[in-house]
Amino acid sequence: MTSNPLKLGFIGLGIMGAPMCGHLIKAGHQLFVNTRSKVPAEIAETGATQCTTPRGVAERADIVFTMVPDTPDVEKVLFGENGVAAGLSKGKVVVDMSSISPIETQAFAQKIAALGADYLDAPVSGGEVGAKAASLTIMVGGSDAAFERVKPLFELMGKNITHVGPVGSGQITKVANQIIVALNIAAVGEALVFASKAGADPAKVRQALMGGFASSRILEVHGERMIKRTFNPGFRIRLHQKDLNLALQGAKALGVALPQTANAAQLMQVCAANGLADADHSALVKALELMAKHPVAEG
């Protein structure tokens, strides 16, 4: 328990937000919360103060965290009717931990700065498992002073915390992360489809590969999901599609070609078109299975 409890706000108590908020509460901080749907029982039972609007959170808290699905959601939470901006005062900090557009992030930060408050973009990687274990990777953009002020709170939610640079840098890093993750999922999927169709036991193939240069966290976690057919969402395909679209939009603006990213985005679109938009992104393998007319494993 902290000897110096802070008044904190948390907006967005979904698969990721609820456990992240829970770590702040367990550390002894006073939490003011708001979410689109019902506040999860594990948060409601802690005594966190439930606010009916984002404005109410911002009026009561000195540091406000947001964790919502997409760029328009962040904009609505911050600048919509009774949004965070309406409740801010000088010296407060807004920390957006969503994964959204780097360009829009910079615009949001300018508006918040005009109100006398600081803004950090701090998207995360690690999924539901990392959120629950407080082992998230957190990539932060913003001023040195704001980062140092919030860093002890980041340390309650994550392990690998990096101040990358000015506002927007965190989101740029997260887009890069999502490119790497998507391409790795596709690579693992292709390898396991190939091995299975060729007649090898995919579970034993994965086990063998885990000891070699092809070993990766994706092979370990998502490869197991592909074999066990456990596609309940840790990170949904539709959210990863959103992130890859941000990558491709950014690449177009920068005049950069991202051919493998575009291919991974199309594989996810195949999944979405077949009713898998809300499945875990490891279900990308199902697009490859459809083309091969062969599942990695039964189930």
What is the enclosing helix (H) or strand (E) of 138? strand 136-141
Whole-angstrom Cα distance, residue 259 to residue 111? 35
Beta-carbon contacts of 31 under 8 Å, excluding residues fewer than 6 positions away, are 8, 9, 10, 21, 24, 25, 43, 46, 48, 49
Catalytic entry in 174, 242, 252, 286? 174
Q: Is 60 exposed, middle or buried (0-12, 13-18, 19+ CB in 10 A)?
A: middle
List C-alpha distances in Å: 264 to 146, 182, 206, 258, 288.
36, 6, 21, 10, 11
Cα 137 from Cα 161, distance rounded (Å): 6
- Rounded Cα gap, residues 11 and 54, in angstroms: 7
Return d(Cα 82, Cα 9) in angstroms, integer.
Answer: 15
DSSP H or E run through 204: helix 202-209
| 286 catalytically annotated | no
Q: Which residues are catalytic?
A: 174
